[in-house]
Chain A
Amino acid sequence: MLYENWEGKYFLLNPASGHTHVLNHAGFVLLQELARQPATLTELAHRHLEDQAQVNLLAQHIGQLELIGLICRAAPED
């Protein structure tokens, strides 16, 4: 992952699109975790979150990362 961190902002290159994205700390940590190992929303929520409001926020975050092409859905396992 090609990135730089300045003043709490993460500048990240998406080599597939050529776009550079600016992420906050939470977005960057989430992306790193998904880059290490694919996970479902439920798995991520179990690891990190305590209430439904936070889960909703996480879902939004994941949706944004998918929208800009930094993550994609894995094929459902058989």
Chain B
Amino acid sequence: MQSRARGLSNALIGDMAPTQLAGEAGAEGILYKSGPFTVRLHCEHARMMDNFQQMYRHHRLLDSAAHIAHFSIDMQRPHGLRRWWRPQIRMRTDAQTPFEPFPLDHAFPLFEWSLNWVTAMQAHQFLMLHSAVVEKDGVALIMPALPGSGKSTLCAALMLSGWRLLSDEFGLIRPDDPRLLLHPLPRPIPLKNASIQVIRDFAPDAALGPTYPKTRKGDVAHLAATRASQRQGEQTAPAGWFLFPQYQAGSSLQIEPLARSWTFLKISGNSFNYKLQGARGFRTVAQLVKNCPAYRLSYSDLDQAIKQIEALHRQVIQQRAPQAAPAAQ
């Protein structure tokens, strides 16, 4: 029997009628491409699919009969009392329910965290740096996610200033690939608490979804990846440099280069699966540290920070040019 979803193959998620998308997701489920992965999503909550469609407009659906899903996410409404009283939703993947149920109206944040979880648990064909990655002029900037650094806010502001988002969460690199290419995974950026208003002020037209109050990480609102970021979801970019941002209210802009020893410790310690990769992980992080200069940036003003980052990025690209020339021949 031909899959109902087969008729959706190759359509952009944003081009679907919302009722059709929700209908397919609630019936057989949909399959879509997200960076290097295919994701199967089955969802019994039509309103979540509205949020999903808003955030993944430029992702493509795939023929579920012709592709194998890397990740399978099933968003289920529990039976019994919790279907009606203080309704909940839970996520199942590969016959596991790794998280406690969430309130039904927090279905989309649960879906996003679930995708992070399955990626971190399963995508070991990549060395997974816990980092935001953005690209401009063909070179990637990696911003490791140190606690409280304001990484997502800066990543969002860079994307809204014309940079391409590769990921807000995962720096995906094939271990031992001498080209040190970053693979995109241009999913929504989850902004938290004060960052939501900061980005609204920075770009009033930004494609922000609804705010989910009082989640486990406080108030959360998702910012959709730009159209260009989503549509170039398979275009890799070579690692250029590292930036460790640090937001400090009221501070003046400060930039300082970082020692390789410090950078190695932070990058390896901040990876989802460095230890699991063994020698391949060690060699890959060492290559990154040798090839990519690293800086720490303290800032309080986003516009100033972006100007500084743009200047540093141009400098990095100029310094890379002599190295890149022989490889291009």
**Residues of chain A at the chain B interface (Cβ within 8 Å):** 2, 4, 6-7, 9, 11, 13, 15, 18-20, 22
Contact = CB atoms under 8 A, between A and B. Distances in A.
A2 B259 contact: no
Nearest to A11: B264
B279 A7 contact: no
Given A6-B260, A9-B261, 8 more contacts: A6-B259, A6-B264, A7-B261, A11-B286, A13-B278, A15-B279, A18-B276, A19-B275
Contacts, number: 32
B interface SS class: helix
A9 B260 CA distance: 10
Contacts of A19: 275
Interface residues of B, number: 14
A2 B282 contact: yes
Nearest to A18: B275
Nearest to A12: B282
A13 B259 contact: no
19 contacts: A2-B283, A4-B264, A4-B286, A4-B289, A6-B259, A6-B260, A6-B289, A7-B259, A7-B260, A9-B261, A11-B261, A11-B264, A11-B282, A13-B278, A13-B282, A18-B275, A19-B275, A20-B268, A22-B265
Contacts of A22: 261, 265
